[in-house]
Amino acid sequence: MIDKYNYAFLDEGSKREIRRSVLKAVAIPGYQVPFGSRELPIGRGWGTGGIQLTLSLIGPEDTLKVIDQGSDESVNAVNIKKFVKMCTDVPCTTRTQEATIIQTRHRVPEIPLTNDQILVLQVPLPEPLRVVEPQESVTKKMHAESDYAPIWLQLYESLIKYGKVTISSEYPCLVEDRYIMNPSPIPKFDNPKLHQAECLYLFGAGREKKIYAIPPHTKVVSLAFDDVPFEKESFKGKKCRLCGSTDTYLDEIFDSATGERYYQCSDTSYCKEVRSK
Amino acid sequence: MKQLHTFDEVFDAQKVFRRLLEAMANPGRQCDIRLQSEKLFGEAPDMLALAMTLLDASVSFCAPENPVLTEQIILLTHAKSVSPEQADYLFISSGDLLPTIIETAKKGTLENPHASATCIVKIPDGQTEQQVLLSGPGVDGQTGATVPCDIMQAIGLRDAQEYEYPQGIDYIFLLPESKLLCIPRLVRMEEC
């Protein structure tokens, strides 16, 4: 561990501010709490919101897992793990069941999380209304007044134009019948995992300076119309080429030389575990 | 030089925060901070442990009618002591003070509901306990719990304000033996 920096890199004042914001976020599920996002030795947009949350949460008793697009071995995940380990000395794992804190980008692990685990999501664009309204002052007012007509209209327009809602990731959801929330760029496939979950979900957007949360056992409903229900991605007829799973989120891999398409589990740790059984 | 306490600002604060987060995310669950509180001093070391975890010069607090605690919190955290209606954190040592304080506590606004007060209430030992039903985010359906009477009274006072959600206040109760129990603004508590 590098002891030239404070434990977990951030100074205690920064951690306290983030911790205060986290508690407010948990008390008001789905509401984006503003916080003073700190500079880190990593560019904004590379997971600084998630890292700041992880650094404010982590202690010597924790075990950390970091995934990026479901993979434990991608560049972003490996570097974040190295950085946190360098300034905390906590053990890192690739097994979902062993981790107390899981920092993730773009995926919720396939193995259901338990009540003693915290899932930290890196969020690039926390504001679900940004696609319909560019001004922060206006979106804040829209949230205050539960004025969500424009986002419903966006879904309706998509339905009229393409015959289905075409949003594949960052699919908006309604939290506790009050706040529309962007569940970060997780695929629609993972949205149902947020509803009445056992674990605590924390969302950190470093560049946009927002923190929000979904406590365990919270109502999270993906937006849908009465006559057009929410549908997650379907992988009917496809299976992972490595472990044979048919009920996981699959990545499509295209071999340009042979023109073949393969599918394999996006959650690499889950895939390995299935293969080892 | 006299050492006032052995509470570690880095590691003990982290442990207290994690217990607090667990309690806030799982309303009704009692989380222990006794080991960390014992490292502090005075008549309310558990309140000081929370103050050291959450407060600094950028937030305000009020410990009504408790000048000793006020002085200790300022000494340890440099937080600003203000009137109850302006305070970000309220440290309430006596249930008798609750009605007037809850009436005036900051409830936030519809646009900024996070700009509301967090009420830290000390529950004295030896209280009659009662069976309650909890519901809301963090609670699996409707869950039964046994809590001291003062908590039910505090929740009743909060509910009487009829805050328009997301406005409201969040409670952190400090039970005997330095146990935390949190009731955030959306969580409802009914008598069985």
- Whether A173 is a known active-site residue: answer no
| Cα–Cα distance, B172 to B184 (Å, whole number) | 8
Give the residue-averaged pLDDT of A3-13. 93
Supply φ then ψ for residue A175, to 5 degrees. -105, 125
- What does the pLDDT look like over A136-194, one tens digit per residue? 999 999 999 999 999 999 999 999 999 989 888 899 999 999 999 999 889 999 999 99
In the prediction, which pLDDT does A32 show? 98
- Asked if A144 and B17 come within 8 Å (Cβ–Cβ), the reply is no
How far apart, in whole angstroms, are the C-alpha atoms of residue A186 and residue A123? Answer: 10
Residue A21 in contact with residue A67, Cβ under 8 Å? Answer: no
When CB atoms are compared, the residue of B13, B55, B137 closest to A176 is B137
A30 carries an active-site annotation: yes
pLDDT band at A131 (very low <50, low <70, confident <90, very high): very high
Mean local confidence (pLDDT), A23-40: 96
Average pLDDT of chain B?
96
Q: In 3D, which of B78, B92, B97 has the Cα closest to residue B120?
A: B92
Nearest CA to A180 out of A27, A49, A31, A35 is that of A31
A140 vs B contacts (CB less than 8 Å): 111-112
Distance between CA B157 and CA A244 in Å, rounded? 57
- What pLDDT does residue A1 have? 78
B26-52: average pLDDT: 97
**Residue whose structure tokens are 């600084």:** A48
CB count within 10 Å of CB A239 equals 16
Asked if B192 and B31 touch (Cβ cutoff 8 Å), the reply is no
Confidence grade of residue B190 (pLDDT, cut at 50, 70, 90):
very high
**pLDDT for residue A2 is more than 80:** no
Active-site pick, A92, A173, A199, A240: A240
Q: How many CB pairs under 8 A join A and B?
A: 101
- Domains delineated in chain A: 12-128+175-221 (3.40.50.11310), 234-277 (no CATH)
Give chain B positions within 8 Å (CB) of A24. Answer: 114, 170
Ramachandran class of A32: left when φ > 0, alpha when ψ lies in -120 to 50, beta otherwise:
beta
Q: Which of A16, A25, A217 sits opposite B54 (nearest CB)?
A: A16
pLDDT in tens, B115-146: 999 999 999 998 899 999 999 999 999 999 99
- A228: helix, strand or coil: strand
pLDDT at A168: 86
Nearest Cα residue to B45 out of B55, B56, B34: B34
Of A267, A221, A214, the residue nearest A105 (C-alpha)? A267
B181 and B154 Cβ atoms separated by less than 8 Å? no
Length of chain A: 277
Annotated catalytic residue A240: yes
The Cα A62–Cα A57 span in angstroms is 9
Task: Judge whether B28 is closer than 8 Å to chain A, CB to CB.
Answer: no
Residue B75 confidence class, pLDDT cut points 50, 70, 90: very high
Q: What's the confidence (pLDDT) of residue B61?
A: 98
Element (H, E) at A57: helix A48-57
Cβ atoms within 10 Å, residue A272: 15
Whether A272 and A112 have beta carbons less than 8 Å apart is answered as no
Strands B118-122 and B170-175: parallel
pLDDT in tens, A82-124: 999 999 999 999 999 999 999 999 999 999 999 999 999 999 9
Q: Which two tokens stand for residue B45?
A: 């070391």
Active site residue A271: yes
Whether A221 and chain B come into contact, CB under 8 Å, resolves to no
Quickly tell me which residue has 């209606």 as its tokens.
B85
> Residue A266 corresponds to which tokens in the numbers above?
């996006």
Q: Write down the pTM of the prediction.
A: 0.97
For residue A168, count other CB atoms closer than 10 A to its CB. 12
Cβ contacts of B55 on chain A, cutoff 8 Å: 16
Per domain, the residue ranges of chain B are 11-126+149-187
DSSP-assigned states of every residue in chain B? --------TTHHHHHHHHHHHHHHHSTT--EE-HHHHTTS-SS-HHHHHHHHHH--TTSEEE-TT-HHHHHHHHHHH-PEE--GGG-SEEEE--GGGHHHHHHHS-B--SS-TTSB-EEEEEPPTT--EEEEEEESTTSSSEEEEEEEHHHHHHHHHHHHT---TT---EEEEEETTTEEEEE-TT-EEEE-
| Cα A123 to Cα A104: distance, rounded to the nearest angstrom | 9
Among 3.40.50.720, 3.40.50.11310, 2.170.270.10, 3.40.190.170, name the CATH number for the domain at B11-126+149-187.
Answer: 3.40.50.11310
The verdict on A226 touching B (C-beta cutoff 8 Å) is no
Report the distance separating Cα A38 and Cα A14, nearest Å: 8
Residue A253 dihedral angles phi and psi, to the nearest 5°? -115, 130
Sign of CA dihedral B84, B88, B91, B92: positive
Q: Helix or strand or coil: residue A171? A: coil
CA distance B78 to chain A (A): 12
Residue A237 annotated among the catalytic residues of the structure: no
- Residue B74's pLDDT is what? 98
Residues 12-71 of chain A with CB under 8 A from chain B are 12-13, 15-17, 19-29, 31, 33-34, 56-60
The answer to whether A16 contacts B53, with C-beta atoms less than 8 Å apart, is yes
Q: Is the pLDDT at A273 greater than 90, yes or no?
A: yes
Give tens-digit pLDDT for A200-230.
999 999 999 999 999 999 999 999 999 999 9
| Window A:113-142, CB contacts with B under 8 Å | 115, 140-141
> What is the mean predicted confidence (pLDDT) over A48-75?
96
